[in-house]
Structure 1
Amino acid sequence: MLTLVPPMDSIHHVLAPVTGQHIDSSPESAATQELQLYEMIFSAVKPLALKAAVLLNIPDIIATRGNEGPLSAEQIAFHIAAANSSSTSNSHVDVGYLYRILRFLASYGVFSEQEEADQADDADTKKIKFGLTGISKLLVQGGNQQSCGPFLLLIANNVYLEAFQHLHESVLEGCYTFNKAHGTSPWEYLGRNPQANQIFNEGVATNTRSVMASVAKMYEDGFKSMATLVDVGGGMGSALSIIVKEHSHIRGINLDQPHVIATAPPITGVEHMEGNMFEHIPSADAVMMKWIIHDWGDEECVKLLRRSYEATPAKGKVLIVEAIVGGDKEGESMSRRLGLSYDMLLMVYTTGGKERTEEEFKRLFQLAGFKSYTIIKLPFLQSLIVLSKA
C-alpha cells in the first residue's frame, strides 16, 4: 500500500544521455523481426477465433459433454448441431472448418490436443481430441459467473471493431473514432440500441465480479466503517451486489442512466437510481467509481471528482477502481502491454477517455480539491485508489 499526503510534489526524472546504439542487421535478426511483425499483423485473428468458439459454445460443450475429458471435432460438431437443430438457421456443421478453428486456438494453448488411441500408424490424418485448458475454462459460461466469455464478446463486437477503422483519422483530425464510425457518441449509441446495450452491460458485469471480489476483501476495514455507498455509473449493480453481500450493513445506491437502470435486476440492499452523474451525485459516506474515470477527458473527470467531493462528508471517502499505467518500466512486460492495449481501446471506444499514470491521476485529484490518496494494488491490472479530503 502506498499513501501520499500533500504537498503532492511532482517527481522529475533525469534521463542519462544516449551514448550510442547497436543495430543487429544480421539475416537471422531480420528474419526474426519479420516474424514478429507478422505475429502482430495476424493478432487480429485471435479474438475473432475466440469469439467464434464462444458463440458455438465449444468451451461449454467440452466441459459438460466430455465428462471432463477431451472430445474430437466430430463429437463437438454433433453437439453444436443438436443445440441448433430447433433454430431457423441451418443446423449443418462443417467439421473441417470447426477442426481448423480448434487447431488454431490449441496452438495458443486455448485447448489441449491429444491423439485418439488405437490409430493406424500409416493413417493419412491423425484423429485429434480437444480438451479444456486453464484458458478455455475461463470461457465456460454455464453456471460460471466469473466467465470471461461476455467480456470477450464485448471487445470483439463489430460495433467497436468498426470504430478501429478510423483510428488514423483521430491523429489527422483530432476526432473521436466511435463518433466517426457511427455518427454519435458511444453512450448515446447504447441508449438507442438495446442489443448493444445488453452486450456492453453483460461484458462489463462479468469483468466486474472478479475485480470487485478483490476490492471487497482488500478494503474490508474501510467498508466496515460506512453505512451508505453510491456506485456512480454502476451499470447493472454488479459491483454493489458483491459489496453489500459481504457487508450487509451498507445501503447501496446504484446511479446510472435511465436506459441502464431500466434493465437492472432487483438486488437486496441496493437502490437503483436514475441520474446524470455530471449534474448530481447523491450524498453518502462514500462514493465509488469503477472504470468511470478512464472513460472521460480531464475536464469531465475533474467535474465528476468535484461532484463526488460534494456528495461525501468531511471524513468520507471516494473509491476509484482503475488501471494505473506507467509503473512498469520493462517494455516487454505483459502487464505493460495489456495496460496500453486498454488505453488503445479507450481511445477508440470513448470520447476522450484514456488510461492514466499516477502523476496524471494526482493532477486530477488536486484540481478536484482532494488532499491525499492511498493506492491499493489489486490482482491483474487494476488498483483501488482511496481519496480523502483531509
Structure 2
Amino acid sequence: MDMVTSMPLEANSNGQILQAEAELFCHSFGYLKSMALQSVVKLRIPDVLHRYGGAASLPELLSTVPIHPNKLPYLPRLMKMLAAAGIFTAEDVPATVGDGEPTTLYHLNAVSRLLVDDASVNGGASMSPCVLLGTVPLFLGASLKLHEWLQSEEQATTETPFMLAHGGTLYGIGGRDSEFNTVFNKAMGASSEFVAALAVRECRDVFAGIKSLVDVAGGNGTTARTIAEAFPYVKCSVLDLPQVIQGISSHGTVEFVAGDMMEFVPPAEAVLLKYVLHNWSDQDCVKILTRCREAISHGEKAGKVIIIDTVVGSPSQQILESQVTMDLSMMMLFNGKVREEQNWHKIFLEAGFSHYKIHNVLGMRSLIEVQP
C-alpha cells in the first residue's frame, strides 16, 4: 500500500472533508430548497413581508400567513431554512418586555424582493411565476428520467428526458394542460417584462435610430410593447404561430402577424429574438437566422438582428451556475442548448452574418447585435 495515501489525515484535511460532506448533503437535498421556495411563493410570504414594511417578526408572520393553525409551529422551520439559503435575511431580536421570549425578524433581501408583486420594490414584474414554472410536476418528472435518457439508444434529436417521462413534447403535453399553460404564460410574461425593461434601460444605443422592429416568437407582445413605449418612433410587430396570438389584438404601435419563423420573417430594420434560439439545435438556429437576415435586407441599408440569450462564461460563479443550469434545462426539455461565444460565432457565419457585438449587461443573459 502506498505510504502517502495510508497516512492519517491532518486536522485541516479533516475540516475540508467535513465541509465537503456538508456541501454534498446540501446538493443532494437541493430539491427541498426549491420546494420550500415554491411554498413561500404560493403562501405569498414575500408580499406579506412587504406589507409589513419589508420585515416581519415570527408572530406577525404566524398571524398573517394563510396556513392551518395546526401547522403554525412548522412555519419557523421553513423560514429558517430559506434564510440560511439566502432567500431571506434573519435577525434575532431580544425580548423588549420582562421575561418575554426573543423572536426572529425576517427581512426581504435582494433575492426575495424579486418575488414581491410590486414594481416599485423589484423594479419590474414579480419573478414569482418563474419560480412556480421551474417547480411544476412536468419538469420535475422529466428530471427524474435524466439518467435513464443518458443510457437510452434513442437519438437526442428525436427524444428528450421530458418525452421519455411524459410520452410527448413539452408543447404537446403542456398544451393540453390548462393549469400548466396558465403557469407557463405567466412566467413567460414576467420574464419578458423583467428582461425587456433591463434591455431598454441598459442598451438604449442598440435601439437608437431603428424605425421598425419585429419580435420573432414574441408571444403576447410584452417585450414589443416595452420597446414601443420606450421608443415611440419604432414601429413594432410580433410574429408568432396563429394559435399563440389568437385573440390578441394590436395594441398601439404593436401589430401581430401570424406565421412560422422557419418559413418567413416580415421585413424590418431590426429583428428581435429573445430567448428563442436556446430552444433549437444549431441547424435550426442557422435556418431561423437565415430567415432573419432575409428580413433585414429589404431596405436601403442592411439592418440587424438583436438576440437576447445566454452566452456561457461569466466571472461570477452564481451567474455561471445559472447559465449551465439553463443549459441542462434546455437539454431536458427540448433539443436545444445555451451556447458559448465560439458556438454563436459559428452559427452566425453559417447563416451569412459577419459582424456581431456582445453586450454583457443583462446578468445571466446577454444582448447580441448581429449584422451581415
Task: Give 1:126-145 correspondences, 5 Å limit.
Answer: 126-142=102-118, 145=124
1:228 and 1:285 in contact (8 A); partners too: yes
- Paired with 1:222 and 1:106, the residues of 2 have a C-alpha distance of 39
- For residue 68 of structure 1, report the CA deviation from its aligned partner: 4.2
Which of 288, 291, 294 pairs up with 1:307?
291
**What is the aligned partner in structure 2 of residue 78 from structure 1?**
63
TM-score normalized by the length of structure 1? 0.82
- For residue 251 of structure 1, report the CA deviation from its aligned partner: 1.4
Structure 1, residues 44-95: CA drift from partner, whole Å, max 9, x if none? 211211110010011111211x2444132x43233333xx8xxxxxx65621
**What is the aligned partner in structure 1 of residue 72 from structure 2?**
95
- Paired with 2:185 and 2:163, the residues of 1 have a C-alpha distance of 20
**What is the aligned partner in structure 2 of residue 12 from structure 1?**
none
Which of 46, 50, 57 pairs up with 2:37?
50
2:305 and 2:370 in contact (8 A); partners too: yes
Taking a change above 3 Å as real, the CA distance of residues 70 and 269 of structure 1, as seen in their structure-2 partners, is same
- Paired with 1:213 and 1:385, the residues of 2 have a C-alpha distance of 16
Task: Give 1:1-390 correspondences, 5 Å limit.
Answer: 26-64=13-51, 66-72=52-58, 74-81=59-66, 92=69, 94-111=71-88, 112-115=90-93, 117-118=95-96, 126-142=102-118, 145-173=124-152, 174=156, 175-262=159-246, 264=248, 267-313=251-297, 314-326=301-313, 328=315, 333-350=317-334, 352-389=335-372
- Paired with 1:340 and 1:265, the residues of 2 have a C-alpha distance of 37
- Paired with 2:248 and 2:129, the residues of 1 have a C-alpha distance of 17
Structure 1 residue runs of 5 or longer lacking an equivalent are 1-23, 85-90
- For residue 323 of structure 1, report the CA deviation from its aligned partner: 1.2
Query: Alpha carbon RMSD of aligned pairs, Å?
Result: 2.4
Taking a change above 3 Å as real, the CA distance of residues 295 and 79 of structure 1, as seen in their structure-2 partners, is same
Paired residue secondary structure (1:282): coil
- Paired with 2:247 and 2:133, the residues of 1 have a C-alpha distance of 18
- For residue 285 of structure 1, report the CA deviation from its aligned partner: 1.2
- Paired with 2:70 and 2:288, the residues of 1 have a C-alpha distance of 51
**What is the aligned partner in structure 2 of residue 6 from structure 1?**
none
Count of aligned positions:
350
Letter in 2 for 1:133: N
Structure 2 residue runs of 5 or longer lacking an equivalent are 1-7
- Paired with 2:314 and 2:86, the residues of 1 have a C-alpha distance of 29
- Paired with 2:208 and 2:53, the residues of 1 have a C-alpha distance of 43
Taking a change above 3 Å as real, the CA distance of residues 170 and 183 of structure 1, as seen in their structure-2 partners, is same
- For residue 266 of structure 1, report the CA deviation from its aligned partner: 5.3
Structure 1, residues 337-383: CA drift from partner, whole Å, max 9, x if none? 22111111111122x11110111111111111112111111231211
- Paired with 1:326 and 1:221, the residues of 2 have a C-alpha distance of 24
**What is the aligned partner in structure 1 of residue 5 from structure 2?**
none
Deviates more, 1:255-264 or 1:289-298: 255-264
Q: Stretches of 4+ moved more than 6 A in 1?
A: none
- For residue 27 of structure 1, report the CA deviation from its aligned partner: 2.7
1:62 and 1:71 in contact (8 A); partners too: no
Letter in 1 for 2:50: A
- Paired with 1:120 and 1:43, the residues of 2 have a C-alpha distance of 41
- Paired with 1:364 and 1:116, the residues of 2 have a C-alpha distance of 60
- For residue 191 of structure 1, report the CA deviation from its aligned partner: 2.8
2:199 and 2:362 in contact (8 A); partners too: no
- Paired with 2:247 and 2:151, the residues of 1 have a C-alpha distance of 39
Taking a change above 3 Å as real, the CA distance of residues 214 and 243 of structure 1, as seen in their structure-2 partners, is same
